[in-house]
A and B are shown apart, each in its own frame.
Chain A
């Protein structure tokens, strides 16, 4: 009887065990790619197709849990295009999504 309940609890958790490693990360539910792109487009009010690092920083420092200095630096280091010094968010998103799939 008890083992049956255990089994059901186990199966329920497994639905959320995306990485199949017997852990469930309750902090950050996953975000689908299209929603993410739309989010960036909302922030890019002038529809430039890119964002300035400062622009992005301002946004990330908002909310109840703003990004720390370290988080911001880390994000910018992967997001900012070294030649033009802006964030081409479409490419950024694609790259990270690809990473995430591995």
Chain B
């Protein structure tokens, strides 16, 4: 009864326990594996939305470029657009020094921030770091002084910094910081401050997105002044005033320096153009911000006048006198001639343009109708025939950014006899150089062999392992270190460990999303990686919690995108529902989603987290759209379509606003607002009537003083998500 039972029960019980333990092990591991899948999916969401934004920006900029080159809008509109393209290099350096003189700026007694003395010393630079650690703001006088000194130094640096490890034994390389001061401080804490014995390379993207871009720049420049041989800075794609307009740096500077912000921004514009483009360590390791393309040639890069490219998005004006006279002829056309010019161009080029042949309306002498005609001209051009569109697209794809503007020039000029012959020249040296620069600032690696234009970002290339081998081989290099892409572990090897991505902004997408990292490298040129993650809270989050948090954030961002495209989505769904049943298959739902949003996400996986249940693989799309709940932003409009278009393009809108707001007052007049909107609507190829815009302007004039506050306006577009599920 007793002993016998126990004897047999014990081993059987043990076996059962073993099985149970194994089962639990298996279950938990499966859970973790699924968590990893979710994390990757979340990552994809953030990255897709981020890159789609960059692409958007470039499209907008190209659109402005196109207008500038081919088109004579009424002069008020031209002045608006020409602000972006204002070239500064005509002004002599002595005039610049006077303009940026800090000496007249008084530092008030009440100022408690750091006082800088020059020449800069290690002591002063570390003092600056301490001050920023304590959230102090450096006075504009010292900012201008420091930036001025930095500029003087940068001007004499070559395009490519050649660095050797023999002096110092080890060199440290950091990637994107994006205004996240805590990360820079963390690197200094772990690795020490820069010095001749502790040289650093910073690989671009110091600014935008984070809140302390200015402070980071000031620290980097301060140490650059103290140790010109110990600090090496590479330009990134965000060291660009056009990009800064959209991604927050411009806003940060104007917010922190209300009186002198504009001057500071102008000085920074020049400084960015003078930043070196690459660093080479021991002749064997190439460090650039973005990457390479199959045509990358360090000799061309070393030779070019890098400061001509104030913004990497815009090629410099041609230096040919014939080209500039051609430009002048476009600008100085009489109003009457302008009308004919537009008409004939449209006639000759494109077949399907019925409105273009219409005679201009009554009162053609007045400014108003000329304006209307010019915008009209644009929308006619944009309705050009399919064949031309296709041709342009094909050629653009073949050659990347640099050729697109060329092609457009050639296409337009080849039909008109009065255009200058020089327009149909092959690529000039300028364009070749420009492509070299865009490639090293904007490119991303890909797994497959080859080299393709980077459609996702809108600039630079995707380059493959074969290109890496060829370019490295051609230059006798062994390793390419680049940044530009956020990585979960702060770094990532690819292309048989011949390419190393280093990213130093931790928690980039969201708290807990990723670590930051930096490289330490000695004469053996073997990279040693160091990782970190700033902020106390995220270190104590469990895997489950940090994935959950990042995921919620990503889904919220994604839902905003869906909301912004509501009408397009509905239209796309209805295409799959010819009998108007209100229900479509999951497969069609996923196709429609991708067709409208073009984010390349696994829609079927995400469907359950985006909110509706399905019955036998079919979804009630009308109900689903209804469930995308957000509270409407403040400007309550009868015209829901304008609102949606506006919301979807609010980043573009804000960019344009900031360009137009030349005195950086933060206010726009009604007329400026109206013109912004007209420009944007022609870019988007939509028709918005004047009355609707006027109504809109009136309704958002919150202060009723005839001007629109940009910040208030953008604030109104922060939608508040109503969580239907807790």
Contacts and interface: CB of A to CB of B under 8 A. Distances in A.
The answer to whether A and B come from one shared complex is yes
Interface of A: 19-21, 23, 25, 27-31, 35-36, 38-40, 42-43, 45, 59-60, 62-63, 65, 67, 71, 74-75, 77-78, 96, 99-100, 102
Contacts of B544: 78, 99
Interface in B20-50: 20-34, 37, 41
Contacts of B23: 31, 35-36, 39
A100 B609 CA distance: 12
A25 B38 CA distance: 14
B722 interface: no
B542 A77 contact: yes
Given A42-B17, A63-B21, A78-B542, A31 B605 contact: no
Contact of B30 (A30, A60, A75, A77): A30
Nearest to A95: B544
A43 B608 CA distance: 34
19 contacts: A21-B41, A25-B33, A27-B33, A28-B29, A29-B30, A30-B30, A39-B23, A39-B24, A43-B17, A60-B24, A60-B25, A65-B25, A67-B25, A71-B28, A71-B32, A74-B32, A74-B542, A78-B544, A100-B31
Contacts of B24: 36, 39-40, 43, 59-60
B31 A63 contact: no
Given A25-B30, A27-B29, A78-B544, A63 B18 contact: yes
Given A42-B16, A43-B21, A59-B24, A21 B602 contact: yes
A25 B19 CA distance: 22
A100 B34 contact: yes
Given A63-B18, A77-B542, A102-B609, A19 B34 contact: yes
A74 B13 CA distance: 28
Interface of B: 13, 16-34, 37, 41, 542-544, 548, 602, 604-605, 608-609
Contacts of B27: 28, 30-31, 36
Nearest to A62: B21
Given A20-B602, A78-B544, A63 B22 contact: yes
B605 A20 contact: yes
Contacts, number: 86
Given A39-B23, A60-B21, A74-B543, A20 B30 contact: no
Nearest to A59: B21
A67 B30 CA distance: 13
A96 B17 contact: no
A39 B20 contact: yes
B26 A31 contact: yes
B9 to A, nearest CB: 12
B72 to A, nearest CB: 52
A86 to B, nearest CB: 16
A21 B590 CA distance: 12
B21 A31 contact: no
A78 B544 CA distance: 8
Nearest to B602: A21
Contacts of B542: 74, 77-78
Contacts of A43: 17, 20-21, 24
Contacts of A99: 31, 544, 548
Contacts of A29: 26, 30
Contacts of B16: 42
Given A20-B605, A21-B602, 11 more contacts: A21-B37, A21-B604, A25-B33, A28-B29, A36-B27, A42-B16, A42-B20, A43-B17, A45-B17, A62-B22, A102-B609
Contacts of B22: 62-63
A49 B604 CA distance: 39
Nearest to B41: A21
Contact of A31 (B13, B30, B37, B543): B30
A74 B17 CA distance: 22
Nearest to B29: A28
B602 A28 contact: no
A83 to B, nearest CB: 17
A28 B26 contact: yes
A23 B33 CA distance: 12
B530 to A, nearest CB: 19
A5 B30 CA distance: 30
A58 to B, nearest CB: 9
Contacts of A28: 26-27, 29-30, 33
A19 B37 contact: yes
A39 B19 CA distance: 8
A45 B609 CA distance: 39
Contacts of B548: 99
A7 to B, nearest CB: 15
A59 B416 CA distance: 84
- Which 7 pairs between the two chains have the least Cβ-Cβ distance? A28-B30, A39-B20, A31-B27, A42-B20, A59-B21, A20-B604, A77-B542
Contacts of A75: 28
A96 B31 contact: yes
A98 to B, nearest CB: 11
A102 to B, nearest CB: 6
A70 B18 CA distance: 21
A97 to B, nearest CB: 9
Contacts of B26: 28-29, 31
Contacts of B608: 102
Question: Of residues B21, B32, B37, B543, which shows the largest number of chain A Cβ atoms within 10 Å of its Cβ?
Answer: B21
A30 B22 CA distance: 13
Contacts of A19: 34, 37, 605
A27 B27 CA distance: 11
A31 B17 CA distance: 17
A52 B110 CA distance: 61
Question: Of residues B22, B28, B604, which shows the largest number of chain A Cβ atoms within 10 Å of its Cβ?
Answer: B28
Contact of A59 (B17, B29, B33, B41): B17
B21 to A, nearest CB: 4
A39 B17 CA distance: 8
Contacts of B602: 20-21
A78 B29 CA distance: 14
B612 to A, nearest CB: 14
B43 to A, nearest CB: 14
